[in-house]
Amino acid sequence: MRTIGDEFPKFQLRALSGLSIGEMTAENAFIDINGETYAERWKVIFFYPMDFTFICPTEILGFASLYQDFQRRNAQILACSTDSEYAHWAWRKHSPRLSEIPFPLLSDMSRSLSQALGVINPTNGVAQRALFIVDPQNIIRFVMVTDENVGRSPEETLRVLDALQTKALCPCSWTKGQKTIDAFGTNI
């Protein structure tokens, strides 16, 4: 598995755009996204097992609820599964709660990105519930993988992004606005 300090792999994937279902047309619903699409931005890329499941929509909705907070931190959210972009569209269209998701849903049907990152579940062949925070230089700065039965916390992801962006030493449970640690002076 790729880990902290590794370069995030190059990729080119088809995605369902982050437009609301009502705004989508044949011309703008599906887009191509590659490793350079969001150059000079932080990226929060989270993988989920499959569309039309139970935990996955709770995570997607959680990240959507904090989308503007991530945007204010110069971070782009990307969700990814091994489903097709058409399955993403059908899922969002079928579920009114998902109709307004503001970020793209990447389709990794070939499993090229999931395999390059080492996040394919060997039992069922779908992406594991993995999350990567990638800096603007395309270096992985945070990795988390949970059991497929355990959802992630978008709030914790935002807290970690804040800590990474300080470039300082951040103590346990540090949150934005708190003091960081000065290793050569006064601690906390």
Catalytic residue among 56, 80, 170, 172: 56
pLDDT of residue 69: 98
What is the phi/psi pair of residue 185, to 5°? -145, -135
For the chain, the average pLDDT equals: 96
Read off the pLDDT band of 188 (50, 70, 90).
Answer: low
pLDDT of residue 187: 57
Q: Please state which of the ranges 45-54, 132-141, 178-187 shows the lowest mean pLDDT.
A: 178-187
pTM for the predicted model, two decimal places: 0.96
Q: How long is the chain?
A: 188
Q: What percent of the chain has pLDDT over 70?
A: 98
pLDDT of residue 184: 82
CA atoms of 99 and 23, how far apart (whole Å): 10
pLDDT in tens, 133-173: 999 999 999 999 999 999 999 999 999 999 999 999 999 99
Type and span of the H or E element at 153? none
Write down the H helix ranges in 48-152: 56-65, 67-72, 85-94, 112-117
Query: Could you confirm whether 56 is annotated as catalytic?
Result: yes
CA atoms of 73 and 79, how far apart (whole Å): 18
**Relative orientation angle of helices 154-166 and 56-65, to the nearest 10 degrees:** 50
Q: Beta strands 105-107 and 75-81: pairing type?
A: parallel
Query: By C-alpha distance, which of 98, 123, 120 is closest to 109?
Result: 120
CB atoms within 10 A of CB 133: 23
Q: Is 35 helix (H, G, I), strand (E, B) or coil?
A: coil
The domain made up of 12-151 is a member of CATH 3.40.30.10: yes
pLDDT at 68 over 90: yes
pLDDT in tens, 71-111: 999 999 999 999 999 999 999 999 999 999 999 999 999 99
Boundaries of every domain in the chain: 12-151
